[in-house]
Amino acid sequence: MRRPVIAGNWKMHMTCAQAREFMGAFLPLVADTPNDRDLVLAPPFTAISTMARLCEDSSVALASQNVHWEREGAFTGEISPSMLQEHDVNYTIVGHSEPRKYFSESDEQINNRALSSQANGFIPIVCVGESDEQRERGEAERVIRRQIEQGLEGLDADQLVVAYEPIWAIGTGKTCEATEANRICGLIRSWVGSPDLVIQYGGSVKPGNIDELMAMSDIDGVLVGGASLKPDSFARIANYQTV
Ligand code: 13P
């Protein structure tokens, strides 16, 4: 039985004060959320310590937006596994299309981050997805398959989440059709060869489309950007209903 993971990626948003305000409004809205799903928030590094305290005794787990493969060293701007372990982080987000695009992250680096995550007790959420041009050229499946084969090499599928995030659907309001997202998630499952793998969809997820997405057979959760910044919209997503 695959346990759904509903995750909010705050990206470069939220000061500590804003995070406190968010949680003050959000936690009461998820007090009665069914215990059949995991709720996760990925704050920026500066708010991780604040969020760790706010999440104590709540049903919300913490994710880091990055992790390095070394425990320490001369890596300006990076964050190490031991730094995250101090703050009760459970998940890491790696391979997101934004660092792939803006910082030229390679599948090999992403694989190193994911391996480091598992070696240090975190569950990596490994993001994959094609661009608009790649989809137009009919290359979507080939691109995603390469990202899966190289990015997931050597990983334990039982301690892993894969997020299918088509780049053209991120922050654009253009959601991938639920049936198409489900088809790609099914392909990813067959390529990985693990029936129990948890696979999320991400890209313009919002209160208006969450129920349809979560009703799909191969979609086991969502990775949410913009709609995770408002307590009421993320709570509605967390409280999705499939019947
Ligand atoms: P949006 O939900 O804003 O489209 O962002 C998706 C995303 O990139 C989550 O990681």
Does the pLDDT of residue 174 top 90, yes or no? no
Q: Say if 191 falls within a structural domain.
A: yes
Q: Say if 243 falls within a structural domain.
A: no
Count how many domains the chain has.
Answer: 1
226 CB within 6 A, ligand 1: yes
- Structural domain of 134: 5-238
224 CB within 6 A, ligand 1: yes
Residue 14 — very low, low, confident or very high, per pLDDT cuts 50/70/90?
very high
Collect all residues with Cβ–Cβ distance below 8 Å to 154 and sequence separation of at least 6: 111, 115
Q: Say if 164 falls within a structural domain.
A: yes
Residue 111 backbone class (left: φ over 0; alpha: ψ -120 to 50; beta: rest) = alpha
Pairing of strands 89-94, 123-128: parallel
Of residues 188 and 242, which shows the higher confidence score? 188
Which atom of ligand 1 is the closest one to the Cα of 203? 4
Residue 164 — very low, low, confident or very high, per pLDDT cuts 50/70/90?
very high
Does the pLDDT of residue 168 top 80, yes or no? yes
Q: 60, 10 in Cβ contact below 8 A?
A: no
Q: Say if 160 falls within a structural domain.
A: yes
Q: What DSSP string runs through 2-24?
A: PPPEEEEE-TT---HHHHHHHHH
7 CB within 6 A, ligand 1: no
* Domain CATH for 220: 3.20.20.70
Distance 73 CA to ligand 1 centre (A): 31
Q: Say if 173 falls within a structural domain.
A: yes
What's the pLDDT score for residue 63? 98
How many angstroms from the chain centroid is the CA of residue 180? 19
- What is d(CA 3, CA 163) in angstroms, rounded to the nearest whole number? 14
- What is d(CA 44, CA 19) in angstroms, rounded to the nearest whole number? 10
Which atom of ligand 1 is the closest one to the Cα of 204? 4
Query: Per-residue pLDDT averaged across 172-194, rounded?
Result: 94
Does the pLDDT of residue 135 top 80, yes or no? yes
Is the pTM higher than 0.95? The answer reads yes
Q: Say if 189 falls within a structural domain.
A: yes
3-state percent helix, strand, coil for the chain, nearest multiple of 5: 40, 15, 40
